[in-house]
Amino acid sequence: MDVTGKVVLISGAARGMGAHEARRFAEAGACVILGDVLDDEVRALAEDLGDARALAVPLDVSRSEDWEGAVAAGVARFGQIDVLVNNAGILRFSNIETCSDEEWEKVLSINLGGAFKGIRAVLPVMKRNGSGSIINISSTAGLKAFGGVSAYVTSKFGIRGLTRAAAVELAGHGIRVNSVHPGNIDTDMVEDLYPNFNHVPMKRMGQPDEIANLVIYLASDASSFSTGAEFVADGGETGGMPDLFAQPS
């Protein structure tokens, strides 16, 4: 899974899985453009990774002008963008009856609109290069519904449609587009959320590294024949229900 010399733009890179992926890419010899609304945190991470490898850019993924600025700054520093990881996302708790217009629009505009705007912004650069890999972070909540997070579920299902639409439009330009569907991963987003992991056959959370491995695979040429596809890393959660008919031993 060679990503040496690739230039990778990651949204939501200040913390959680995005920050972890940034470190893994930089360690593997890639250059990273790190975008987030948490300016201080993302700048500190870029400083830690070093000027030669990392650039922090202010990025609210729901704002087209921020994407344009991030792409321009990244190209000015590193000359190209080979990989886009649409990772930024927010989780809000409300069911359909109680979800306000503002909350619905905010979740959709960040989780789904942000990915769309990111793809649109990097296209001129990737088309010019004649290659690219775009990785959209969805969720197991994009494969099955969870009650009480209706806007989030809708946004993560939407990522699958966006991924396929982009994949078929862009294959002719050498640009691949795939989605990643993590299960419960140990980050701030889900801290103390789960009482147990009985719904997961592996009976545990995943670690950010286990998603980074998949993202790096999709970024690399090792996944050269994969586009418009869905890659799941969830400890078996969407495979089926564990223990439903378990007999007492």
Q: Answer yes or no whether residue 28 interacts with ligand NAD by CB under 6 A.
A: no
How does 3-19 read in b/e, with b if 16+ C-beta sit within 10 Å? beebbbbbbbbbbbbbb
In the list 187, 220, 223, 227, the residue contacting ligand NAD (rule: CB under 6 A) is 187
Q: Return the structure tokens found at 249.
A: 């031993």
Nearer to ligand NAD, 192 or 248 (CB): 192
Judged by beta carbon, residue 170 or residue 212, the one nearer ligand NAD is 212
**Binders of ligand NAD in range 105-134 (CB under 6 A):** 110
Residue from 3, 7, 9, 11 that binds ligand NAD (CB under 6 A)? 11
**Smallest gap from residue 34 Cβ to ligand NAD (A):** 10
Q: How far apart are CA 132 and CA 122, in angstroms?
A: 9
152 catalytically annotated:
yes
Choice among 78, 116, 152, 231 that is catalytic: 152
Taking the C-alpha atoms of residue 146 and residue 95, their distance in angstroms, rounded to an integer, is 10
| Single-letter amino acid code for the residue at 67 | W
Residue with tokens 């979740």: 107
Site string for ligand NAD, 138-177 (x = CB under 6 A): -x--------------------------------------
Write down the least CB distance from residue 55 to ligand NAD, Å: 15
Integer Cα distance of 35 and 55 in angstroms: 9
Would strands 132-137 and 175-182 be described as parallel, antiparallel, or unpaired? parallel
Residue 112 CA to residue 30 CA, distance in Å, equals 26
Question: Which spans of this chain sit near ligand NAD (rule: CB under 6 A)?
Answer: 11-12, 14-18, 36-38, 59-62, 87-90, 110, 137, 139, 182, 184-185, 187-190
Active site positions, annotated:
152
